[in-house]
């Protein structure tokens, strides 16, 4: 493939995507052929995730320092994530909110983290670029963490002439405003990092990338990255929980975020600042407008009457013709009554054929992307009801008392490593590239059902222990049941999120070229964010239905009085029912592909328009 074709395949951008779009996890993924370059001045370091490869790029000491500066943002993010995971506990212990009110606030916050990347990617691709988006989101993150710290009672007690105890009476309207503004700014910061941090790293350190030759970071950089990650993870898991004042629990990550921003800015004069290349959303809108303007035109049988045929021929194996939404091809029709150069000047009336194909595939996949809303509905449990269950259980292992953040660390480990096990197993299948992601999404749904069933069983046991020891009206007392009973549901939830995440990325990668793949990832993230917000409505509806017949609601003021086990069973049924439309969609896609293979040259028949 020549260099022009490579640039066309890449869509004008480097072949880099961000897999994880929620909860602050940011993974740089390359879709290129791995190399084995073990020369004296190079070091290759990679591992496989499905059909994707994570690569670190070899660089001299100056670039190693630059990379470390950028990486400090990820380390600060990590520390903040563990602190923010405790929001549910803060709202129930300090604000004394009931569990449904507190979970609604946390789910709204998680929903913003899922929804905002869709809009922020558009802004980064059209206006700001990755550097300014990264700087803006870091500033937002730092400000948000600072305001969250200030919203705790002791910080502004003297200025507002209020008490400094961690009680609801000491929290006034000013603290409430600071808190709600803080979680919005934090959501903006996390979303901005998710869509720009990986791409910014690629801009700085992957400038020598070639489709058939990718080097890795120096071993020093790899070691420094792993060592820093280990240190910050250790502090977050084993250090933060032992800091009792909430002002310090939130304040320490806030200070670290500010320090990370200063370190990042210290290298700003050396960073490359690539101009935005445009957003796929803009291209989609152009295709819609151009095709609508030629609605009454007949689609020509001769493909040479379309604009950009030669460029599309170079990548037709990557983006084969699709039989659905053929009416959008009218956007590429060259009108015979005016010069081509004149038509090319109005990009809203004439689009290249490759742009039309990408738009067709994008709309073709929308029903599939919206099927992932169940992921948000389930994933939010780790930040809400799961942590509320763990809060007052027995944390002792022998003479040691383990912090509650160990559960979130185990969740993160399962999220990272279980997909590797699955794709390692799937690589043995025939045609694993096509079937691995498809089956992986179904597997994640099954894992989600198993997670809810496990959580329901454990909660039933926990409630039995509560009744046996007379703790129904004592929500703050420690329950004589080990917190490690929750370990299976946290691991299953991490496995569900990880397999769904990686399978979705690999699935979209089979249908799109970058930057369209990243755009569709933000679209699936949008679906998951709507799922998080939808969980608030789900809890309300389930609560109302459970009150029928004069029965008490499953959701009471405290966890001990509630029946979360029944809610988990309901979620299990909801997720299981989502498997059916997924299978129907898969058969429909397979049917459409078979039709295309049977008659690839057919231009008149279409199922949609």
The pLDDT tens digits for 268-293 are: 777 777 787 777 888 888 888 888 88
Q: Which two tokens stand for residue 463?
A: 């409630």
CATH of the domain at 82: 1.20.1250.20
**For residue 550, how many other CB atoms are within 10 A of its CB?**
5
SS3 content of the chain, % helix, strand, coil (to 5): 65, 5, 30
Q: How far is CA 102 from CA 76, 79, 277, 387, 411, in A?
A: 26, 22, 41, 12, 22
pLDDT for 208: 41
Query: Is 530 part of any domain?
Result: no
Q: What is the pTM of this model?
A: 0.80
Q: Is residue 256 part of a domain?
A: yes
Least Cα distance to 52 among 28, 20, 35, 71 occurs for: 28
Q: Are 250 and 83 in contact (CB under 8 A)?
A: yes
Domain span holding position 182: 1-273
CA-derived radius of gyration, the chain: 26
Q: Which residues contact 466 (CB under 8 A, 6 or more apart)?
A: 472, 479, 560
Domain assignment present for residue 77? The answer is yes
pLDDT at 280: 81
Longest dimension (CA), the chain: 86
Task: Give residue 255's Cα distance to chain centre.
Answer: 25
In a domain, 420, yes or no: no
Computed over every residue of the chain, the mean pLDDT equals: 76
55 DSSP 8-state letter: E
* 453-474 residue pLDDT tens: 999 999 999 999 999 988 888 8
pLDDT of residue 478: 86
Q: Which residues of the chain have pLDDT under 70?
A: 1-66, 205-228, 301-303, 310-324, 367-371, 513-515, 589-609
Domain presence at residue 378: no
Asked if residue 258 belongs to a domain, the reply is yes
DSSP secondary structure, 550-604, as one string: GPPPS--SSTTTS-HHHHHHHHHHHHHHHHHHHHHHHHHHHHHHHHHHH-TT--S
Alpha-helical segments (H) within 85-127: 87-93, 99-123
Number of structural domains the chain divides into? 1
Residue 171 falls within a domain, yes or no? yes
What is the DSSP secondary-structure string of 453-511? HHHHHHHHHHHHHHHHTT-TT-TTSPEEEEGGGGHHHHHHHHHHHHHHHHHHHHHHHTT
How is residue 434 written in tokens? Answer: 């096509």
600 within a domain of the structure (yes/no): no
| Angle, alpha carbons 143-147-153 (nearest 5°) | 160
């Amino acid at each position: 493939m020549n260099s022009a074709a490579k640039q066309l395949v890449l869509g004008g951008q480097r072949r880099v995507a961000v897999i994880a779009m929620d909860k602050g996890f940011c993974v740089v993924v390359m879709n290129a052929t791995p190399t084995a370059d073990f020369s004296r001045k190079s070091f290759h370091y990679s591992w496989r995730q499905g059909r994707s490869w994570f690569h670190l790029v070899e660089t001299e000491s100056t670039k190693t320092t630059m990379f470390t500066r950028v990486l400090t943002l990820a380390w600060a993010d990590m520390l903040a994530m563990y602190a923010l995971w405790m929001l549910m506990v803060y709202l129930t212990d300090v604000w004394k909110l009931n569990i449904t009110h507190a979970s609604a606030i946390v789910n709204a916050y998680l929903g913003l983290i899922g929804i905002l990347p869709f809009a922020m990617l558009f802004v980064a691709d059209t206006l700001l670029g990755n550097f300014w988006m990264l700087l803006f989101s870091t500033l937002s993150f730092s400000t948000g963490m600072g305001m969250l710290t200030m919203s705790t009672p002791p910080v502004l007690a003297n200025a507002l002439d209020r008490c400094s105890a961690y009680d609801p009476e000491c929290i006034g309207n000013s603290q409430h405003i600071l808190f709600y503004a803080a979680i919005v700014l934090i959501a903006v910061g996390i979303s901005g990092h998710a869509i720009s941090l990986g791409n910014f790293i690629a801009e700085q350190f992957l400038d020598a990338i070639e489709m058939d030759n990718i080097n890795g970071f120096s071993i020093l950089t790899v070691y420094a990255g792993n060592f820093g990650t280990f240190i910050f993870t250790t502090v977050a898991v084993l250090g933060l929980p032992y800091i009792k004042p909430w002002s310090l629990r939130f304040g320490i990550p806030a200070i670290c975020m500010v320090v990370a921003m200063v370190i990042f800015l210290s290298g700003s004069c050396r960073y490359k600042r690539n101009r935005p290349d445009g957003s796929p959303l803009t291209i989609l809108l152009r295709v819609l407008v151009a095709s609508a303007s030629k609605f009454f035109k007949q689609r020509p049988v001769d493909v040479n009457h379309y604009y950009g045929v030669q460029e599309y021929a170079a990548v037709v194996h990557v983006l084969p013709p699709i039989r659905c939404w053929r009416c959008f091809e009218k956007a590429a029709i060259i009108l015979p009554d005016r010069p081509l150069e004149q038509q090319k000047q109005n990009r809203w009336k004439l689009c290249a054929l490759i742009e039309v194909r990408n738009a067709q595939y994008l709309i073709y996949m929308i029903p599939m992307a919206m099927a992932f809303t169940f992921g948000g509905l389930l994933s939010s449990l780790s930040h809400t009801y799961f942590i509320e269950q763990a809060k007052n259980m027995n944390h002792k292992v022998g003479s040691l008392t383990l912090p509650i953040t160990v559960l979130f660390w185990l969740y993160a480990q399962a999220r990272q490593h279980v997909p590797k096990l699955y794709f390692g197993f799937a690589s043995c299948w025939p045609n694993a590239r096509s079937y691995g992601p498809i089956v992986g999404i179904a597997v994640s749904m099954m894992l989600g059902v198993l997670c809810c069933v496990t959580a329901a069983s454990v909660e039933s046991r926990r409630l039995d222990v509560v009744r046996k020891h007379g703790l129904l009206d004592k929500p703050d007392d420690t329950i004589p049941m080990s917190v490690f009973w929750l370990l299976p549901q946290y691991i299953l939830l991490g496995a569900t999120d990880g397999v769904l995440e990686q399978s979705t990325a690999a699935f979209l990668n089979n249908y799109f070229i970058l930057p369209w793949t990243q755009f569709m990832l933000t679209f699936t993230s949008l679906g998951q964010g709507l799922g998080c917000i939808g969980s608030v409505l789900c809890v309300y509806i389930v609560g109302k239905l459970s009150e029928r017949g004069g029965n008490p609601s499953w959701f009471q003021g405290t966890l001990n009085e509630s029946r979360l086990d029944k809610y988990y069973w309901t979620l299990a049924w909801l997720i299981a029912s989502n498997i059916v439309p997924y299978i129907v969609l898969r058969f429909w896609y397979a049917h459409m592909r078979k039709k295309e293979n049977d008659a690839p040259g057919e231009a008149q028949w279409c199922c949609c328009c």
